[in-house]
């Protein structure tokens, strides 16, 4: 399924959480928190300001990002869980 975010919306694929702690303890599924790190799958063209000019999004497809714990709306695309969020919900972008 092809999907294209509009305006300043971003489609994110949440990365899988760590299965073990740094000490080697395996974390059970019931104790895992949803990760706040993800990969941008698609980004909209940007928002339009008060003067009618489009301000481009700062992220693009393939960028690794950090987002808020309760950011966005979860949706399933082809059986895979994704998150739709506004660009304002993105906290940081990881540099390569």
Residue-level pLDDT at 16: 73
The DSSP call for residue 75 is E
Does the pTM surpass 0.75? The reply is: yes
Angle, alpha carbons 88-94-96 (nearest 5°): 145
CATH number (domain holding residue 82): 2.30.33.40
Residues of the chain where predicted confidence (pLDDT) is lower than 70? 1, 17-35, 96
- 38 within domain boundaries: yes
* Residue 31 main-chain phi, psi, to 5 deg: -100, -5
Residue-level pLDDT at 40: 94
Domain span holding position 77:
9-18+32-93
Residue-level pLDDT at 25: 67
Q: CB of 59 within 8 A of CB of 24?
A: no
- 23 within domain boundaries: no
Residue-level pLDDT at 2: 79
* Inter-CA distances, 10 with 20, 21, 53, 61, 72, Å: 30, 30, 19, 9, 9
Residue-level pLDDT at 17: 61
- 24 within domain boundaries: no
């Amino acid at each position: 399924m092809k999907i294209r975010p509009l305006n300043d919306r971003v489609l994110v694929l949440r990365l899988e959480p760590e299965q073990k702690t740094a000490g080697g303890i395996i974390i059970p599924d019931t104790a895992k928190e949803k990760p706040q790190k993800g990969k941008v799958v698609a980004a909209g063209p940007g928002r339009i300001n008060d003067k009618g000019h489009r301000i481009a999004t700062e992220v693009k497809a393939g960028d690794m990002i950090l987002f808020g714990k309760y950011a966005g709306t979860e949706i399933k695309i082809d059986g895979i869980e994704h998150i739709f969020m506004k660009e304002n919900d993105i906290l940081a972008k990881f540099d390569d």
